[in-house]
Amino acid sequence: MTDRVSHLVVALSEDIREDEVQHLVNAIYMLKQVKDVQLGLADPSDFVARVRVYSMVREKLYEVMKTLS
């Protein structure tokens, strides 16, 4: 017997303005068995988390590049 899936989470490659995302929402609604689509609005904590991750990756990449030169 296989497990049942109750929902999917979709992450966008970048933040899109709310008024520009409607075409994506409409396309998702057209998929079979889609009941509802909710927008996940970007907030300051999202931005802070992204900046911290970007900074950590940049620092690690810099360390690797120093060892190669």
Whether residue 59 has pLDDT greater than 80: yes
Whether residue 64 has pLDDT greater than 80: yes
24 vs 46: CA distance, rounded Å: 21
- pTM given for the model: 0.58
Using CA atoms, how far residue 48 sits from 14, 44, 66, in Å, is: 15, 6, 27
Indicate the burial class of 29 (C-beta count within 10 angstroms; 0-12, 13-18, 19 or more): exposed
Q: Kindly report, residue by residue over 18-56, the tens digit of the pLDDT.
A: 889 999 999 999 999 999 998 888 787 887 888 889 899
* Domain spans in the chain, listed from the N-terminal domain onward: 18-68
pLDDT at position 60: 95
CA torsion sign, 20 to 24 to 30 to 34? negative
